C-alpha cells in the first residue's frame, strides 16, 4: 500500500464580513478583511511545499450561500496553483455554502472534485496509476440537514486502499454550533475507515486518536474573540497501519484574551501602563492580534470602571500607539470583571471583611490538601507547597469566592 500525504482543512468562511471591526484604521481593517483569503493562500503554499497528494476541504468554504464572485475567483486561483503541481482537491459543502444557494458558477480546474448533494458519494484517488484511496463525502443540498447520514457511508471492499470519510456535522453532545448532520463517534468507528475529515466545529479537536483518526481542524482564521488562538489545518500522513496528523498554523490575525489585574493599580496611569506592558509582551509574537482585555481582581479603581465613556477612552489610548505596524496589536474590547464590594449590601460587605480576616489567620492549609496527597500524581509532580505558594493559592481562592458571591448577589 503506497503512503499518502494530504491536507485536511475546513470552515474557510471566505469573505467573512468581520462585523464590529470597521472602526479600525483602514489599513488594519483591510488586513483583517483579507485574512481568510490570506490564510487559505498560506495553506496552499504549505501544501505545495510539502508536496502533498491532495487537499480535503470539509465544508463551509464560503461564508454565505450566495458566494461572492470575488471569493470564487480567489479560490479558483489557488486551485490552479495546485493543478500546476498535480495536487487534487476534494470538496464537500456545508450549511453556510450549501448547494441550494445562488451564485455565478465558474468552470473549475480538472483537479477539483465536488461531492454530490443527493447522496454520499465515493471518489477514487489514483497514485502512480494505482488506486490508493477511496474518499467518501456528501454536500448539503440546503442550509439545514438535521438527520444522521452516517448510514450512507458504506465502505467499499479493497485490500490495498485507504478509506477516508468527509463529513460536515456535529458530534453528539457538542452545542458550540447549530446541530447539523448529527452523529455519534461510534457511528464513525463502525465504518472501519482510516481517517474522518470533519468540518463545522470551529474549535480544533481530535475525537478519536487512532484507527481511525477522527478530527476537526477548526476554522482557518479566527473571526471574533470566541475563536481565539492558533488556526489552520492538519497535515496528515498515512502508511499501512499508521496515521499521523500534525496541526499547521496558518492564521493571519490571532484573537487573544488576557487578564489585567487592578490589584496594584493606584490610578488610571498605572492601569494603562499595566495594559501596555501586556501589549508589548504580545507584540513579541510577531503576529497581528485582535485583543480583548479583561480587568480583574479588586482595588481602588474598581468603581471607576463602571463608566462606558472611560472604557472607550481607554480603548483609544491603548490603540493610538499600535495602528501603524505590519504586525499590530489592536484592542477590540475591554471587559470589566473586577470586584466591587462597595456596591454590594452592607451585609455582604461585612461578609467580605470576615472572609479576609479568616484567610489572614488561616493555618489549616495542610489539612485541607490532605486528600490531594493521597493522589499519586500529586506526590509525583507537586509534593508540597512553599509558604509563598500557600499564600498565592489562598489569595486566588479568596478572589474566586468574591467573584462567585458578587455574581450570585447581582443575579438575585
Domain residues of the chain, as ranges?
4-249, 253-338, 342-410
Nearest to 197 by CA among 221, 147, 239, 163: 163
Q: What is the DSSP string of 73-136?
A: HHHHHHHHHHHHTT-EEEEE--SSS-TTS-----PPPTTEEE--SSS-EEEEEEETTEEEEEEE
Grid coordinates belonging to 293: 482585555
Residue from 326, 325, 304 nearest 314 by CA: 304
Give the up-direction half-sphere exposure of residue 271: CA atoms within 13 A in the CB hemisphere.
28
**pLDDT above 60: residue 345:** no
Classify domain 253-338 by CATH number: 3.40.50
CA dihedral for 297, 301, 303, 307, sign (positive or negative): negative
Sheet with strand 253-261: strands edge to edge: 253-261, 288-296, 329-336
Helix (H, G, I), strand (E, B) or coil at 226: coil
The DSSP symbol for 262 reads -
Of 136-140, 238-242, 304-308, 373-377, give the lowest mean pLDDT range.
Answer: 373-377
101-127 mean pLDDT: 95
Q: What is the pLDDT of residue 16?
A: 93
Categorize the per-residue pLDDT at 386 as very low, low, confident or very high, splitting at 50, 70 and 90: low
The label of the residue with cell 486502499 reads: 161
Coil/strand/helix, residue 279: helix
pTM of the model: 0.82
Least confident of 17-21, 122-126, 149-153: 17-21
Q: Band the pLDDT of 158: cuts 50, 70, 90.
A: confident
Give the span between the Cα atoms of 252 and 28, in whole angstroms: 12
Lowest mean per-residue pLDDT among 183-187, 193-197, 219-223, 341-345: 341-345
- CATH number given to 4-249: 3.60.21.10
Of the pLDDT bands very low, low, confident and very high (cuts 50, 70, 90), residue 262 is very high
- Using the predicted structure, report yes or no on whether residue 22 has a pLDDT greater than 90: no
Round to whole Å and give the CA distance between 40 and 324: 25
Q: How confident is the model at residue 410 (pLDDT cuts 50, 70, 90)?
A: very low
Q: Is the pLDDT of residue 107 over 50?
A: yes
- pLDDT of the residue at 344: 47
Q: What percent of the chain has pLDDT over 70?
A: 82
> What is the pLDDT confidence band of residue 43, given thresholds at 50, 70 and 90?
very high
Give the mean pLDDT of the chain: 88
Read off the pLDDT band of 378 (50, 70, 90): low
Residue of higher predicted confidence among 394 and 29: 29
Lowest mean pLDDT among 5-19, 303-317, 371-385: 371-385
The string of pLDDT tens digits covering residues 162-194 is 999 999 999 988 777 789 999 999 999 999 999
Amino acid at each position: 500500500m503506497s503512503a499518502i500525504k494530504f491536507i485536511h482543512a475546513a470552515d474557510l468562511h471566505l469573505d467573512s464580513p468581520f462585523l464590529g471591526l470597521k472602526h479600525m484604521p483602514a489599513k488594519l481593517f483591510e488586513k483583517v478583511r483579507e485574512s481568510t483569503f490570506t490564510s487559505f493562500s498560506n495553506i496552499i503554499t504549505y501544501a505545495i511545499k510539502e508536496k502533498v497528494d491532495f487537499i480535503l476541504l470539509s465544508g463551509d468554504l464560503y461564508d454565505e450561500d450566495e458566494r461572492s464572485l470575488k471569493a470564487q475567483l480567489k479560490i479558483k486561483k489557488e486551485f490552479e496553483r495546485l493543478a500546476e503541481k498535480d495536487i487534487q482537491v476534494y470538496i464537500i459543502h456545508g450549511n453556510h455554502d450549501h448547494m441550494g444557494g445562488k451564485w455565478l458558477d465558474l468552470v473549475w480546474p480538472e483537479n477539483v472534485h465536488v461531492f454530490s448533494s443527493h447522496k454520499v458519494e465515493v471518489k477514487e484517488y489514483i497514485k502512480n496509476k494505482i488506486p490508493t484511496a477511496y474518499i467518501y463525502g456528501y454536500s448539503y443540498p440546503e442550509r439545514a440537514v438535521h438527520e444522521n447520514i452516517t448510514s450512507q457511508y458504506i465502505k467499499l471492499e479493497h485490500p490495498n486502499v485507504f478509506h477516508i470519510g468527509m463529513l460536515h456535522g456535529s458530534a453528539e453532545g457538542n452545542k458550540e454550533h447549530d446541530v447539523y448532520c448529527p452523529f455519534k463517534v461510534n457511528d464513525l468507528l463502525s465504518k472501519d475507515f482510516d481517517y474522518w475529515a470533519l468540518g463545522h466545529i470551529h474549535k480544533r479537536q481530535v475525537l478519536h486518536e487512532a484507527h481511525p483518526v477522527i478530527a476537526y481542524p477548526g476554522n482557518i482564521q479566527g473571526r471574533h474573540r470566541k475563536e481565539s488562538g492558533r488556526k489552520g489545518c492538519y497535515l496528515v500522513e498515512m502508511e499501512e497501519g499508521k496515521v499521523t496528523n500534525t496541526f499547521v498554523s496558518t492564521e493571519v490575525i490571532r484573537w487573544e484574551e488576557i487578564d489585567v489585574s487592578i490589584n496594584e493599580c493606584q490610578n488610571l496611569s498605572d492601569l494603562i501602563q499595566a495594559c501596555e506592558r501586556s501589549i508589548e509582551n504580545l507584540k513579541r509574537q510577531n503576529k497581528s492580534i485582535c485583543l480583548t482585555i479583561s480587568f480583574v481582581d479588586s482595588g481602588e479603581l474598581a468603581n471607576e470602571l463602571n463608566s462606558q465613556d472611560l472604557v472607550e477612552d481607554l480603548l483609544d489610548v491603548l490603540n493610538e500607539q499600535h495602528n501603524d505596524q505590519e504586525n499590530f496589536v489592536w484592542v477590540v474590547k475591554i471587559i470589566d470583571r473586577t470586584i466591587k464590594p462597595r456596591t454590594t449590601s452592607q451585609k455582604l460587605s461585612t461578609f467580605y471583611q470576615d472572609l479576609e480576616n479568616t484567610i489572614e489567620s488561616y493555618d489549616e492549609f495542610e489539612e485541607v490538601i490532605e486528600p490531594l496527597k493521597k493522589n499519586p500524581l500529586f506526590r509525583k509532580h507537586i509534593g508540597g507547597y512553599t509558604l509563598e505558594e500557600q499564600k498565592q493559592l489562598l489569595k486566588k481562592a479568596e478572589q474566586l469566592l468574591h467573584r462567585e458571591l458578587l455574581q450570585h448577589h447581582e443575579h438575585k
